[in-house]
Every structure is written in structure tokens, then in C-alpha cells.
Amino acid sequence: MREVQDQASPGGGATRDGHADEGTSAENAAAEGAARTDAAGTTSLIVGADGRTRPLWAASDPLLREYYDTEWGMPVRDEQGLFERLSLEAFQSGLSWVTVLRKRPAFRVAFAGFDPEVVAGFGAADVERLLADASIIRNRMKIEATLQNAKATLALRDEGGLASLIWSFQPAQTPRPEHARDVPSSSPESIALAKTLRSKGFRFVGPVTAFALMEAVGVVDTHLLGSHRRGSSGVWS
């Protein structure tokens, strides 16, 4: 889930969604409080009315702010939680993350709470049902990929499971971005993770999607230095 590199939001660079450009983000966040700018005049952080410092993407919408403050970057180590986040990352590709967040309750209903055992049993009739469901993102390739990824998740149980695989790609060090421009959109570990997932039968998982997943579930910490959430996961000091 990545926005324009301002801080790249939960999931990827401008090539992944084109949510809002820096100026628009700054305007939307202006009501939150004082912006902090670097020497080049680029706004990376903003101090909210609550006194907390956040990146612009997290201050531009109440739903994004809540997600940033309570969920993004916190460790997820259970199979179902990781399958859900992997699925939503795939659905977000090409769209804004806030669109996915707004539809997440509907996604959970449509995909049986992202229980991989249930989703793995979905068939052609379920694909048509999902394509007719206006409350979710209706994309046949993404829907079919989610069903395939559920099957691949079950197959991984014989090898330690999805959580073990994803967390095995935790790097020795995490990025320490001071500004939005310092946040990478991929890494050697995300490239390797994407390659491994694809070799295990997963679809719609490229290096950028894999890195976005790693950010979202705490495998790396890309909170900007100065954000009130930096280091909050407990994974990285």
C-alpha cells in the first residue's frame, strides 16, 4: 500500500496508486497542525491537533490516521492475519490504500474473514458472486489470485507456515528514514520474499507489494524518524 513518496503510505510508490500528490496531501493535512519541512522545503511530517507527529499520508484522512496510529507497522504473526494483509495488498495495487481500508469490512464479509481454509474452497460460483459484489474491489485477476493464494497458504503449513516464511525475510537492519524521500519501495529482502512466494504458488506478489506487506506487519519499520509511531512495534529499537 503505497502512496506518492510523501511518506510512501502503507504500500508502495507512485507507480502503485497515485493517491494524492504532495501538494494535495499537504492541503488536506493542514487542519491537523503545524507541518515540519526539511531544508529543501519538502513537508514530510505534520504535528496534529493532538500534538502527535505523523507523515502527511496519515494526517490526510481520519481513517488513515486511525490505521497509522493503531495498526500499521505492528507485528502480525498469525496465518489468517497475514493472509488478509497479503490479500488486501494485492487488491490495493493501482489504487489508494484508503479505498481498501474503506472497503475492508466488506472484504472481510465477502472472503469469510480471510480464513484461508474457507477461501481455498471457493469455486467458480464464488468468483462470480464476488464479481457482482459492489462493496468490494471487483477485479477478476485479483479475486482469482486471492483464491489461489489461500490454497498456497494451506500448502505452506507443511513447511512451517506463512508466518514463518514471511518473517524469515526480516532484515538485519531496518530503514531509518528522516524524510519521505528516504523511504524505499522495495528491498533485497522484499525481492527475495516475492520470488519465494511466487515459487510457492502465490500470485500478485511483486517486490513492491512484498515490501508494503513487510512494512504493514512490522517486518521492517519505515516510520519516519520524528513520528510518534517510530519504534512502537517492539520489533526494532
pLDDT tens digit string along 16-29?
A: 333 333 334 444 44
pLDDT of 237 reads 75
pLDDT of 60 reads 85
Question: Which residue is catalytic, options 84, 89, 189, 215?
Answer: 89
Taking each helix axis from N to C terminus, what angle separates 79-92 and 140-155, rounded to the nearest 10 degrees?
A: 160
Selection from 66, 56, 113 nearest residue 88 by Cα: 113
What is the percentage of the chain residues whose pLDDT exceeds 90? 79
* Cα–Cα distance measured from residue 56 to residue 5, given in angstroms and rounded to the nearest whole number: 10
Banded pLDDT at 223 (limits 50, 70, 90): very high
The residue with greater pLDDT, 95 or 35, is: 95
Query: Above 70 in pLDDT, residue 219?
Result: yes
For β-strands 43-47 and 35-37, DSSP reports them as antiparallel
Per residue in 52-64, pLDDT tens? 999 999 998 999 9
40-60 mean pLDDT: 85
* Cα–Cα distance measured from residue 29 to residue 101, given in angstroms and rounded to the nearest whole number: 18
pTM: 0.86
pLDDT of 43 reads 60
Per residue in 70-87, pLDDT tens? 999 999 999 999 999 999
Query: Above 70 in pLDDT, residue 35?
Result: no
pLDDT of 30 reads 45
Selection from 20, 19, 18, 2 nearest residue 212 by Cα: 2
**8 A C-beta contact, residue 163 and residue 78:** yes
Q: Please confirm, yes or no, whether 68 is among the known catalytic residues.
A: no
Banded pLDDT at 114 (limits 50, 70, 90): very high
Per residue in 152-203, pLDDT tens? 999 999 999 999 999 999 999 999 999 999 999 999 999 999 999 999 999 9
pLDDT of 13 reads 39
Taking each helix axis from N to C terminus, what angle separates 124-131 and 140-155, rounded to the nearest 10 degrees?
A: 140
119-147 mean pLDDT: 98
**Arithmetic mean of pLDDT over the chain:** 87
pLDDT of 38 reads 52
Q: Which residues contact 214 (CB under 8 A, 6 or more apart)?
A: 166, 169, 187, 189, 190, 193, 220
pLDDT of 12 reads 46
Question: Which residue is catalytic, options 67, 72, 167, 236?
Answer: 67
Q: What is the CA radius of gyration of the chain?
A: 18
